[in-house]
């Protein structure tokens, strides 16, 4: 009887050990499955995030592209040469053109006379082909249109002529602060290249501090009169 009880107890222990092993294995498999499931979930979530980011990026790119060339597309509907004709330059195009001119002056080392040389390229054979280079910045515009737009932006006959006070302001500013054209241009409400070119034309050799001499004032008013002559043409 005792032997039978011992045997039953041993069998029961064996069953318990076997069941425990099965339970442990099930737990381990369950944990592994949970880890795999979580990993798959994270991977799926990451893919969705990446797809969403890519979608947003593409939409932003399309929107930017549409804004950037919308005028071009509209103007090209009836054009056979794929160029924009007879449509006003946008502010964005003006900025591109201004930057192209600045870069060309710097690239070819034209210095302080660069703007004048470019705007009057017929008189300067060394820059005669510059408009092909700068026109490449606006490939949807005819080179001739780019050339004329540059004259509109930079020619001396702007909205209003330069006054004697503005000439004096330029002179004093350069004397005190140097050639920080960008800052001075904001004060004057002019483009920095135009301010720079105006300073070049002032040609003051005597930059002493204090009151102007009679000769300096005469030079100043000669320049004002010169602007009036340019505006009359």
pLDDT in tens, 160-198: 577 888 888 888 888 888 888 888 888 887 777 778 777
Cα–Cα distance measured from residue 159 to residue 189, given in angstroms and rounded to the nearest whole number: 11
pLDDT at 140 over 90: yes
Residue 47: which pLDDT band, with cuts at 50, 70 and 90?
A: low
Domain residue ranges of the chain, discontinuous segments joined by +: 91-154, 164-231
The per-residue pLDDT of the chain, averaged, comes to: 69
Q: Tens digits of per-residue pLDDT, 193-203? A: 778 777 877 75
CA–CA gap between residue 57 and residue 50 (Å, rounded):
10
Q: How far apart are CA 58 and CA 75, in angstroms?
A: 25
Per-residue pLDDT at 31 exceeds 70: no
Q: Which residue has the higher pLDDT, 10 or 144?
A: 144
Q: Which residue has the higher pLDDT, 158 or 114?
A: 114
The pTM of the full predicted model, rounded to 2 decimals, is 0.40
Vertex 138: Cα angle to 112 and 99 (nearest 5): 30
Determine the pLDDT at residue 14: 54
pLDDT of residue 141: 92
Tell me, what's the pLDDT at 154?
A: 79
At 92 the pLDDT is 92
Q: According to the model, what pLDDT value does residue 57 have? A: 47
pLDDT-based confidence at residue 45 (cuts at 50, 70, 90): low
* Among the ranges given (15-19, 51-55, 99-103, 182-186), the one the predictor scored with the smallest mean pLDDT: 15-19
pLDDT at position 12 over 70: no
In DSSP notation, the chain reads: -HHHHHHHHHHHHHHHHHHHHHHHHHHHHHHHHHHHHHHHHHHHHHHHHHHHHHHHHHHHHHHHHHHHHHHHHHHTTT-SSS---S-PPPHHHHHHHHHHHHHHHHHTT-GGGHHHHHHTGGG-GGGTTHHHHHHTTSTTS-HHHHHHHHHHHHSS--SSPPPHHHHHHHHHHHHHH-S-HHHHHHHHTS-HHHHHHHHHHH--S---SSSPPHHHHHHHHHHHHHHHHHHT-
Q: What is the pLDDT of residue 74?
A: 47
How high is the pLDDT of residue 67?
38
Give 49-96 pLDDT, tens digit per residue. Answer: 655 655 554 454 444 344 344 444 444 434 446 888 878 889 899 899
- What whole-number distance in Å separates Cα of residue 195 and Cα of residue 114? 13
Task: For the chain, give the percent of residues with pLDDT over 90.
Answer: 5
Q: Kindly state the average pLDDT of the residues 132-147.
A: 90
């Amino acid at each position: 009887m005792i032997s039978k009880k011992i045997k039953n107890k041993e069998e029961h222990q064996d069953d318990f050990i076997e069941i425990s092993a099965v339970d442990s294995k099930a737990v381990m498999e369950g944990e592994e499955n949970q880890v795999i499931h979580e990993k798959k979930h994270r991977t799926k979530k990451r893919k969705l995030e990446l797809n969403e980011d890519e979608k947003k990026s593409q939409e932003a790119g399309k929107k930017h592209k549409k804004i950037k060339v919308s005028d071009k597309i509209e103007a090209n509907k009836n054009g056979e040469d794929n160029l924009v004709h007879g449509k006003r330059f946008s502010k964005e195009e003006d900025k591109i053109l201004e930057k192209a001119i600045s870069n060309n002056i710097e690239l070819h080392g034209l210095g302080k006379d660069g703007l004048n040389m470019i705007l009057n390229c017929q008189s300067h054979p060394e820059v005669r082909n510059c408009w092909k280079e700068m026109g490449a910045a606006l490939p949807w515009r005819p080179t001739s249109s780019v050339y004329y737009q540059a004259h509109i932006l930079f020619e001396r006959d702007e909205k209003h002529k330069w006054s004697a006070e503005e000439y004096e302001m330029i002179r004093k500013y350069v004397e005190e602060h140097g050639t920080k054209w960008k800052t001075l241009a904001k004060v004057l409400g002019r483009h920095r290249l135009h301010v720079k070119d105006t300073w070049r034309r002032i040609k003051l050799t005597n930059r002493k501090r204090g009151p102007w001499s009679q000769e300096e004032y005469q030079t100043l008013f000669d320049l004002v009169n010169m602007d009036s002559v340019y505006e009359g043409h």
